[in-house]
Structure 1
Amino acid sequence: MSTRQVSDRNDPVIESREQLLAPMIKGEKPRERWRIGTEHEKLVYCTKDHHAPSYDEPGGIRDLLVAMQDYGWEPVTESDDSGASNIIALSGSDGAVSLEPAGQLELSGAPLETLHQTCAETGRHLDQVKAIGSKTGKGFLGLGMWPDKTRAELPIMPKGRYAIMLRHMPRVGNLGLDMMLRTCTIQVNLDYSSEADMVQKFRTSLALQPLATALFANSPFTEGKPNGFLSYRSHIWTDTDPARTGMASFVFEDGFGYDRYVEYMLDVPMYFVFRDGKYIDAAGLSFRDFLDGKLSILPGERPLASDWVDHLSTAFPEVRLKSFLEMRGADGGPWNKICALPAFWVGLLYDQTALDAAWDLVKDWDMEGRERLRAEVPKLGLDAPLPGGGKLKDIAAEVLVISRAGLNARNRLNSMGDTEAGFLNPLDEIVSSGKVPAQRLLDKFHGEWGGDISRVYELSF
């Protein structure tokens, strides 16, 4: 989740509909300026006993962030209720490093031109954290969910927005705390050239998001035992907060565009308002009331442009629109899967021929079928039912062929003369074998691990 760094009361007050549309319109870029932003989270643990380190224990999360400054990262701090200043993120040339609620470590990568650059950025980051981990006794797991920890065993990071969300989540769903504390994801942020281009990309990627969920399914364990799912992380989102999650069916309706997404966001309840370096609890309140100066916690005050940008980051549909499109369907995973997810989506969305072919595959699906596919894929993976008949695995190879063609058409070469298409190889292997990552983990658990979940730590980065 994003980290607020400044509170700017010089921001303009929102006085018109055009200001609500502005972040999306400003996101429009010509093709030559399209970039790739990749975010990936990982679980941090102590190698001695596998516990999740707290923020302030010796060698804990704070010390990890401090040590990363040796690699040129600049600290981002936030004051807690006692007035103490805590380092809660880092900024640098490779983007930003931030903390999820229980100390999951996230790299929000810089906007880059090619997947070769993306994979190099990922490698630099993992080299840095592994070097720090080797000195401090920390390891890092690429999974979609903690395989063995209860909620009570996990620490809480000192970030103001998380305190608000932790209080609010149990009011609106049963699994929101699990989402915050126990899960990890890989996400990809991609650009669009116009409203029409955004609409086609949004619809195509939303329809195919369950395929990404299946290919990257990597969370089959809860508290040391199989949980009956391949992506329990994805299942968690179905019982987190229905007002801000799900398949956003309105995206497929006639006339969808920026204005309709604004209407959706105005109906999403608020979490907070950021003022003078502090998060003010606004959980469950209405942004529409805020626009009218009727927000109970700030009577008479109207929102700033930055408040709207903040609010856009508090909805969690399977694909999210801000000033770019964010692909949100994948579990966390190992290094090659981090590179494979942006490759999958760049191949499908950044070449027009590929985008048209992908849309042709899914355009006739009905909404009931899309919703059923979304609901079944966390448990069934590639065996989830397609709208109109068949299974998800029946189109998986074809979608990868389309994505590969899109990457080859981009013709972005590395120093060896290779295109970006090679980053899809791990996904080709999954489709050809028919086994998603979670199924391989379950095979290990029931086989060579002999039911010992601690063996999962052998899979550290």
Structure 2
Amino acid sequence: MPVRPAVLEAELEAHLRGICFKTGPPRRIGVEIEWLVHDARNPRCPVEPARLKSAATALRALPLTSLLTFEPGGQLELSSLPATSLTDCIEAVTADLARVRPALLAMGLGLAGHGHNPWHPPRRVLTDPRYNAMEAYFDRWGSAGRSMMCATASVQVCVDAGHEEPGPFGYGRRWLLAHLLGAVLAAAFANSPISEGCPTGYRTTRQLIWSQLDPDRTLAPPPGPDPRTAWARYVLDAPVMCIRSEDGHWDAPEGLTFREWIRTGVPRPPTQEDLDYHVTTLFPPVRPRGHLELRMIDAQSGDAGWIVPLAVTAALFDDPEATERAYRIVKSLAETAGSRPAPRNPLWRHAARAALTDPELHTAAVACFAAAQEALPRLGASPEVRAAVAEFTERYVARGRCPADDHLDALYAAEGDLIVGKDSQ
């Protein structure tokens, strides 16, 4: 086998270290919102691929500021441009949704916010080479990969990495904060307790699914004093999911890590573009893309349900006082998390199954949401946004509940009505 020069490995590792945490004062915020697309008259009726393809063509003609894409199972995603304020981000995405929803409704389609499809088994509708290779790769670990690709949806909040220097806004501290606060956010916004009409035993089935996938690309990197080095090693030691080629067959040799690909140059020498693409196939709960991409929040119900997790996360990361309070609050969770990486450590497992019925997570959530509410006026959040966060806090957080509990209550009530109806016959 041809051997690639060792300098190439060093160059690519330096490239990773240079792009993963772009430091500076936190100034920008972004959000990526995924929705399940369903038949407007009957959500339980699967939408045929031809209808989704027609919808995609129509929606891409709309004058949107956000990037509109579709996930493998037909989930719709809107990715905002980086905004210089929480208000600007909310206003831009709200305006785009105001165009997308009526256009879909005219085609008999609607959007539903669930972390996991509660009605249908996973079914892939996109046949791009990337998704063919991804499905083949994840099938080695069982059925969870297809569920992740085709049946899950999220609210992903993007915040700046922070300062180079230590302190409340230092990137190392924000990296740690994201991994501990992430469990609190997953629990507070858990919204996927049902799969194919049945409870799964988890309030966020989406998090359960992520914990069942290939650990080399879905666990958090090992903790340490230098996040850049840890991330670069994580990326290079992760198995290659796909190798792009002109013939459309993107499958990679099983078990080949990117580091091994560099050193052997087989099946072809990799490029920097291959490395950058490889990063897009890694799915840890917090992904550094220059900024920090928080990937643990379930999609939320309602037209504006996504605004609350965006506002709370922005407040806890971008307001100095709230950031300091949040760090002190969640630092105590490190003992529960232990040495195992998220999302397979005890803290994240409690968040997935028990959500805010877990006393420790409930206490942390109450304190973090209080800090966020106090910070929102300082961030210039509108009265409507502050009211939405306050209503969510009162309805769920203060009571140790999450949106998943509403779905479970409705399901059990419907089952009770059926039993009563049978008994009365």
* Bin of the TM-score, shorter chain as denominator length: 0.7 to 0.9
For 2:138, which of 149, 169, 192 is the aligned residue? 169
- Do residues 62 (structure 1) and 27 (structure 2) align? no
How far did residue 210 of structure 1 move? 1.3
3-state SS, counterpart of residue 305 of structure 2: helix
Q: Which amino acid aligns with 1:52?
A: P
- Do residues 303 (structure 1) and 264 (structure 2) align? no
Structure 1 gap ranges (5+):
1-12, 73-91, 385-389, 453-461
Q: What is aligned with 2:372?
A: 403
Q: Which amino acid aligns with 2:262?
A: L
Separation (CA, whole Å) in 2 of partners of 1:420 and 1:47: 28
Q: What is aligned with 1:93?
A: 65
Q: What is aligned with 1:131?
A: 102
Q: 1:136 to 1:308 in 2, by over 3 A?
A: same
Give the % identical residues. Answer: 25
| 1:142-183 deviation digits (Å, cap 9, x = unpaired) | 1111112123xx242122211111111121354121111111
Separation (CA, whole Å) in 2 of partners of 1:46 and 1:420: 30
- Do residues 442 (structure 1) and 412 (structure 2) align? no
Choose between structure 1 and 2: higher strand proportion: 1
Q: 1:228 to 1:365 in 2, by over 3 A?
A: closer
Which stretch of structure 1 is more off in the superposition, 307-316 or 106-115? 307-316
How far did residue 247 of structure 1 move? 4.3
- Counterpart contact for 1:41–1:186, Cα < 8 Å: yes
Separation (CA, whole Å) in 2 of partners of 1:273 and 1:426: 47
Q: Which amino acid aligns with 2:156?
A: Q
| 1:25-63 deviation digits (Å, cap 9, x = unpaired) | 5x22334xx2111011111122355433243x2xx1121
CA RMSD of aligned residues (A): 2.4
- Do residues 322 (structure 1) and 289 (structure 2) align? yes
3-state SS, counterpart of residue 447 of structure 1: helix
* Counterpart mapping for 1:252-331 below 5 A: 253=224, 255-275=225-245, 280-282=250-252, 284-292=255-263, 294-298=264-268, 301-304=269-272, 306-331=273-298
Aligned length: 396
- Counterpart contact for 2:39–2:109, Cα < 8 Å: yes
Separation (CA, whole Å) in 2 of partners of 1:237 and 1:425: 30
3-state SS, counterpart of residue 98 of structure 1: strand
Separation (CA, whole Å) in 1 of partners of 2:46 and 2:266: 38
Q: 1:280 to 1:179 in 2, by over 3 A?
A: same
- Do residues 340 (structure 1) and 336 (structure 2) align? no
- Do residues 221 (structure 1) and 190 (structure 2) align? no
Separation (CA, whole Å) in 2 of partners of 1:356 and 1:261: 24
How far did residue 379 of structure 1 move? 1.4
Q: Which amino acid aligns with 1:424?
A: V
Separation (CA, whole Å) in 2 of partners of 1:409 and 1:130: 32
- Do residues 235 (structure 1) and 208 (structure 2) align? yes
- Do residues 428 (structure 1) and 371 (structure 2) align? no
Q: Which amino acid aligns with 2:378?
A: A
Separation (CA, whole Å) in 2 of partners of 1:258 and 1:278: 33
For 1:41, which of 34, 43, 62 is the aligned residue? 34
3-state SS, counterpart of residue 39 of structure 1: strand
3-state SS, counterpart of residue 243 of structure 2: strand
Q: 1:419 to 1:65 in 2, by over 3 A?
A: closer
Q: What is aligned with 2:152?
A: 183
Tell me the TM-score normalized by structure 2: 0.86
- Counterpart contact for 1:285–1:295, Cα < 8 Å: no
How far did residue 325 of structure 1 move? 0.4
| 1:213-254 deviation digits (Å, cap 9, x = unpaired) | 111111111111222221111111111111122344x23x3x
Separation (CA, whole Å) in 2 of partners of 1:118 and 1:393: 29
Tell me the TM-score normalized by structure 1: 0.79
- Counterpart contact for 2:86–2:381, Cα < 8 Å: no
- Counterpart contact for 1:161–1:272, Cα < 8 Å: yes
- Counterpart contact for 2:40–2:105, Cα < 8 Å: no
Separation (CA, whole Å) in 1 of partners of 2:408 and 2:402: 10
Separation (CA, whole Å) in 2 of partners of 1:285 and 1:426: 49
- Counterpart contact for 1:14–1:20, Cα < 8 Å: no
Q: What is aligned with 1:52?
A: 46
Q: Which amino acid aligns with 2:364?
A: I
Q: What is aligned with 2:18?
A: 22
How far did residue 448 of structure 1 move? 5.4
Structure 2 gap ranges (5+):
1-7, 339-344, 419-425
Choose between structure 1 and 2: higher helix proportion: 2
- Do residues 350 (structure 1) and 324 (structure 2) align? no
3-state SS, counterpart of residue 250 of structure 2: strand
Which stretch of structure 1 is more off in the superposition, 332-341 or 117-126? 117-126
- Counterpart contact for 1:39–1:107, Cα < 8 Å: yes
Which 4+ runs in 1 deviate beyond 6 A? none
| 1:336-386 deviation digits (Å, cap 9, x = unpaired) | 3201111111111112222222112233444553521111221111123xx
- Counterpart contact for 1:145–1:182, Cα < 8 Å: yes
- Counterpart contact for 2:330–2:364, Cα < 8 Å: no
